[in-house]
Amino acid sequence: MLSNIERLVSVCSLDCPDTCSLIVEKIDEKIVKVTGNPEHPVTKGVICHKVRHTPDKVHHPDRLLYPLKRVGAKGEGTFKRISWEEAYAEIKEKFTAIIDEYGAEAILPYSFYGNMGVINTEGMDRRFFHRLGVSQLERSICNAAGSTGYVYTMGKSAGVDPEDTVHSKLIIIWGCNLLSTNMHQAMFLTEARKNGAKIVVIDVHENRTAKWGDWFIPILPGTDAALALGIMHILIEENLLDKAFIDAYTVGFEQLREQARDYTPEKVSALTGVSVEDIKKLARLYGTTTPSFIRIGNGLQHHDNGGMIVRAISCLPALTGQWAHLGGGAVKGNSSFSSFNSFLLERPDLMPQPAPRIINMNQLGRALLEIAEPPVKALFIYNCNPAQVAPEQTKVRNGLLRDDLFTVVHELFMTDTAKYADLVLPATSSFENLDLYSSYWHLYIMLNEPVLQPQGEAKSNFTLFKELAALMDFEEACFQDSEEDMIRQALDNPRNPHLLGITYEGLRQNKWLRAQTNQIAPAYQNPPTPSGKIELFSESLEQQGLSPLPAHVPLQDSKYPLRFVPGPNHQFLNTSLANLPKLQKLEGRPVIYLNVEDAQSRGIQNGDIVKIWNDRGSCRLFASVGQAVLPGVAVTQGLWWEDEELGYISVNTLTPDALSDIANGATFFSGTVEVEKA
Ligand SMILES: Nc1nc2c(c(=O)[nH]1)N[C@H]1C(S)=C(S)[C@@H](COP(=O)(O)OP(=O)(O)OC[C@H]3O[C@@H](n4cnc5c(=O)[nH]c(N)nc54)[C@H](O)[C@@H]3O)O[C@H]1N2
Ligand SMILES: Nc1nc2c(c(=O)[nH]1)N[C@H]1C(S)=C(S)[C@@H](COP(=O)(O)OP(=O)(O)OC[C@H]3O[C@@H](n4cnc5c(=O)[nH]c(N)nc54)[C@H](O)[C@@H]3O)O[C@H]1N2
Ligand SMILES: [Mo]
């Protein structure tokens, strides 16, 4: 029966830098196998364990296949099947009544990148909500602080082409667990290492990546700007600078010299927990190795000082002139190579004027419980699982429990969030959609054509919002667009020369095309900063009341003795895939890493169930006692759905909803906790 197998090309839709090209094998309308596409220049035939289990996700017995209406209490998860017509009628009735009584701002859309396809995340949905005139959502839960911090220095989100990192001789992986979160970067670095490169890992946790590197430097959370300034201090002191590069391409070096003077190795050691010897060794290694490459992760910017941390690190490559060398420089993200025409896609011009208020997604609990003018009376959630991923969970869940809140959730699964919904609408998986993908790390634009029929009565985000627009009698022509029309509009972006020549036809034929880099000056030569140079001194930051120069600002919260860093894990993708038994088994148990010193003083032993708590609430996890974290630090990995022995756990019960210094980002890792034996 081998002849029955169909082999099709698809794109991984997960929120991950690698955006892989997939080979999907299908028998009788069922996906049976998913592997990496050997022809894709970055995927190179290799995909992660998570995505090899895609068939289990797409054909999961728990997949939502029909619209559901809540019959039990909110949060309980009891629903009855209804038709799409009934669901639509209820949405229209509720939205109309809310708009009549409170105005459209009482409706809040809440979405993120559960699917990275641009048509299904920044397309018809945005048009619909703009036209409806509802509250705007500030989507800053992920990389906002760090990416913006980087842009203050470099002008845009562009750094080293990852394919060039095979040429690097010194690699610093800084606050990035890339063996789990960006495995194809690890593949390029393995090649660099074969060519003699040394790999340094700076992290608060001796995780997979730290063990894989050549030299692990443990650091105290939220102190990386101090380390970057300490490195600058030594580079300047020992004249390990590229003066010609600094003169040609940067502004503010003299002020930076003054600023760094104060960050002596002794002072930096006291702040960071890194020894004076290691600070000197690292700075000298950095000052004498070319090309060097810094992979700046997302973890180190989930702090209330996170924007400034990335801002500080992003100044380093200019000081030693790394940008001028193949494989030299840094990457926080590379999304500007593929920036699409967001105006045509999202149509912000459909919004009423003055524009509706903006609500920050990191403060959903506050929005639901505290905002009065007008109160949030309806939530429309898609591509996102806020009852797990947003900070201050107690507030979020109390908000979701409000009887007077009308909540619609569009999902593939009955997530914790969906259990609070009045209506749950079934979503297609990306394998059922036509969509356009880009990576925020590599340089390939990719087309995803459906490989499967929509399962059950599931609808894509695109279809859902197009039908909702018709339901609300929106007559603008843009609500008639097809996915193909929108892909063409997305690619038509005169402001991004890297998209020149990339067409829908070309993508249909090739499946992916590389962003153009030939004949376009590299980012360092003429960056779109106000001065047109790499800004070591930033007037724009000063105008916002922030330090114009890189600076270390201590984390705000120090109420409890342990700094709590709850990051992602290896087998799940945020909360996605965490409901696959095979992946749960591979991941093991949800643990909290504690230093022996902290465990002993609390009578905690390896494997004990511990209660972790602060003013916000508590949760229970298994203790893992050792030297994986420094004293005073507590690390967990993964956003688990449920655990039989522990009951419901959400580490985000403990995380703060304070916003970061730059760009109102999330500060998941800046909280403090106490731990005791349960
Ligand atoms: N397997 C897997 N892959 C994923 C995800 C997932 O959940 N699982 N999530 C995806 C998403 S949405 C994102 S944004 C990326 C995130 O992927 P990364 O960029 O790797 O970011 P994190 O894993 O959040 O954190 C990286 C590291 O930062 C460390 N860290 C925390 N605070 C500090 C600090 O103050 N200083 C330093 N030096 N290190 C610190 C953490 O210990 C962690 O090892 O991964 C994507 N890929
Ligand atoms: N403690 C802690 N919290 C964190 C983080 C952390 O490191 N620590 N990381 C933060 C970061 S960086 C991020 S990016 C966020 C991620 O937070 P989320 O964006 O909420 O990510 P997921 O948990 O993967 O949830 C995405 C949901 O979208 C659904 N989905 C997938 N495709 C589609 C689709 O096409 N249509 C619809 N309607 N739904 C779809 C999936 O089934 C899934 O339930 O979490 C943040 N929360
Ligand atoms: Mo993220």
Helix (H) or strand (E) holding 267, with range, is helix 265-272
* CA dihedral over 320, 322, 328, 329, signed as positive or negative: positive
User: What is the phi-psi region of residue 440: left when phi exceeds 0, alpha when psi lies from -120 to 50, beta otherwise?
Assistant: alpha
Do the beta carbons of residue 417 and residue 400 sit within 8 Å? Answer: yes
Ligand 2 atom nearest 390 alpha carbon: 47
C-alpha 493/C-alpha 490 separation (Å) is 7
Q: Which residues of the chain have pLDDT under 50?
A: none
User: What dihedral do alpha carbons 327, 333, 337, 338 form, nearest 10°?
Assistant: 140
Q: How far apart are CA 613 and CA 37, in angstroms?
A: 45
Do residues 620 and 556 lie in contact, with contact meaning Cβ atoms separated by under 8 Å? no
Pocket test of ligand 1: the residue of 181, 305, 313 to mutate, having most ligand atoms within 8 Å of its CB, is 181
Report the atom number in ligand 2 closest to the C-alpha of 409: 38
Asked if 568 contacts 637 with a C-beta cutoff of 8 angstroms, the reply is: yes
pLDDT of residue 433: 98
Ligand 1 mutation pick, 177, 212, 303, 383, max ligand atoms within 8 A of CB: 177
Q: What is the CA radius of gyration of the chain?
A: 25
Distance 288 CA to ligand 2 centre (A): 41
What are phi and psi for residue 202, nearest 5 degrees?
Answer: -110, 115
Amino acid at 575: T
**What is the position in ligand 2's atom list of the atom closest to the CA of 388?**
23
Query: Looking at residue 3, what is its pLDDT?
Result: 60
Which of 578, 577, 677 lies closest to 622 in space, CA to CA? 677
Q: Does domain 2-58 have CATH number 3.40.190.10?
A: no
CB contact burial 402-439 (16+ within 10 A = b; e otherwise): beebbbbbbbbbbbbbbbbbbbbbbbbbbbbbbbbbbb
CA of 14 to the centre of ligand 2 (A): 9
Residue 251: enclosing H or E segment and its boundaries? strand 250-251
Q: Please count the helices (runs of H) and the strands (runs of E) in the chain.
A: 26, 29
Q: With CA atoms as reference, report the closest residue to 6 among 484, 572, 468, 451.
A: 451
Task: Quote the pLDDT of residue 647.
Answer: 75
459 and 428 Cβ atoms separated by less than 8 Å: yes
User: Measured between alpha carbons, how far is residue 330 from residues 173, 285, 315 in Å?
Assistant: 10, 16, 10
Which ligand neighbours the alpha carbon of 306 most closely?
Answer: 1
* Rounded-to-5 percentages of helix, strand, coil across the chain: 35, 20, 45
CB 646 within 8 A of CB 621: yes
Q: d(Cα 23, Cα 36) in Å, to the nearest integer?
A: 6
Ligand 1 nearest atom to the CA of residue 48, by list position: 1
- To the question of domain 562-677 being in CATH 2.40.40.20, the answer is yes
What's the number of CA atoms in the CB half-sphere (13 Å) around residue 166? 8
Domain 68-142+348-514 in this protein, CATH class: alpha beta
Tokens of 316: 């380093």
Residue 448's DSSP bridge partners are: 435
Q: Which residues line ligand 1 (CB under 6 A)?
A: 15-16, 142-143, 174-178, 180-181, 202-205, 207, 219, 221-222, 224, 297-300, 303, 565, 567-570, 572-574, 635, 669
CA 3 to each of CA 28, 355, 509: distance values in angstroms, whole numbers, following the listed order:
11, 57, 24
Distances (CA, A) of 94 to 74, 304, 379, 399, 422: 17, 38, 11, 18, 11
CA of 308 to the centre of ligand 2 (A): 25
Distances in Å between the Cα of 613 and the Cα atoms of 138, 618, 624, 641 are: 29, 4, 17, 19
pLDDT of residue 648: 66
Per CATH, the number for 160-332 is 3.40.228.10
- Ligand showing the shortest atom-to-Cα distance for residue 333: 1
Residues having CB closer than 6 A to ligand 2 are 15, 112-115, 120, 141-142, 298, 382-385, 389, 410-413, 415, 427, 430, 461, 566-568, 573-576, 639, 651-652, 655, 668
- Check residue 474 and give left, alpha or beta (phi > 0: left; psi -120 to 50: alpha): beta
| Residue located nearest, by CA, to atom 47 of ligand 2 | 389
Record the pTM.
Answer: 0.98
| pLDDT of the residue at 139 | 98
For residue 166, report the distance from its CA to the centre of ligand 2, in Å: 31
Q: Write down the domain spans for the chain.
A: 2-58, 68-142+348-514, 160-332, 562-677
Ligand nearest to the CA of 668: 2
Question: Side chain identity at 355, as an amino acid letter?
Answer: A
- d(CA 42, CA 39) in angstroms, rounded, equals 9
